[in-house]
Amino acid sequence: MPASKQDWLQQGLITLERQGLPGLTIDNLAGELGLTKGSFYHHFKNGSDFEEQLVAFWANQYLSTATIPLPDNGQPLALLDTIMAEAFALATGPEIAIRAWAYQDLRVRVYIERVDAVRRQFLQQVFSRLAPDPAQADRMADMLFSMLIGSLTALPRLPVERVLALYAEFKCLYGLEAGE
């Protein structure tokens, strides 16, 4: 069965996580998928086209869920709790490699900035419903955003359990309870 474009992109994220940017060669990807380079060129013009589509594929995983509206029932923190629990269950390795790549490539940086803007906006919406003061809501959003990005990029990596414990401590410091 021939590989789909999505197969190539998913393998690209796996390779990026394991080997970094140097692993994203056509020969390497074709070898990992057990396919020919012709299969690659069926879906992509060249390596640069693949890289652009790979970063867009990664970003769209986040941006496609960004349209989820906050619940009107007054429980934005419950939604945030769910997102936090699921966020670190997913592989974050590709994001780490993509963030490193963004320091070298403006095309990639644009996608990172777009994803981060959506994340910040979501956090600001959540905390604007929970904090009495808009300035405090902005600070809360910035603090949590910074903690999350920092936990992704810190070396050595913080274990998932530790990040979730920090999130629980953050909520405790602000007197937030799940389901409020």
pLDDT digits (tens, 9 = 90+) for 93-125: 798 899 999 999 999 999 999 999 998 998 999
Q: What is the DSSP letter of 88?
A: T
Task: Kindly state the average pLDDT of the residues 47-63.
Answer: 93
> So what's the pLDDT on residue 155?
86
Same domain (yes/no): 114, 163? yes
What is the value of pTM for the model shown? 0.86
Q: What is the CA radius of gyration of the chain?
A: 19
Output the six-digit token pair for 84.
């936090």
> So what's the pLDDT on residue 180?
43
- Beta carbons of 76 and 125 less than 8 angstroms apart: yes
| pLDDT confidence bin for 90, thresholds 50/70/90 | low
Same domain (yes/no): 174, 150? yes
pLDDT digits (tens, 9 = 90+) for 37-49: 999 999 999 999 9
Same domain (yes/no): 103, 25? no
Same domain (yes/no): 53, 73? no
Domain extent for 5: 1-64
Q: Is 91's pLDDT higher than 60?
A: no
Same domain (yes/no): 124, 168? yes
pLDDT top residue among 62 and 19: 19
Name the residue with tokens 């994340």.
119
Task: Indicate the residue among 41, 64, 87 that finishes a domain.
Answer: 64
Tell which residue, 17, 15, 45, 20, has the closest CA to residue 30.
Answer: 15
Name the residue with tokens 């994001």.
95
CA distance 173 to 128: 17
Q: What is the CATH number of the domain that holds 2?
A: 1.10.10.60
Same domain (yes/no): 116, 151? yes
Same domain (yes/no): 142, 165? yes
Q: Which helix (H) or strand (E) holds 148?
A: helix 134-153
| pLDDT confidence bin for 79, thresholds 50/70/90 | confident
Task: Kindly state the average pLDDT of the residues 1-16.
Answer: 92
Cα dist from 28 to 1, 37, 55, 156, whole Å: 20, 10, 18, 28
CA distance 91 to 111: 18
Mean residue pLDDT of the chain comes to 89
Same domain (yes/no): 98, 176? yes
Q: How many domains does the chain have?
A: 2
Q: Is 58's pLDDT higher than 50?
A: yes
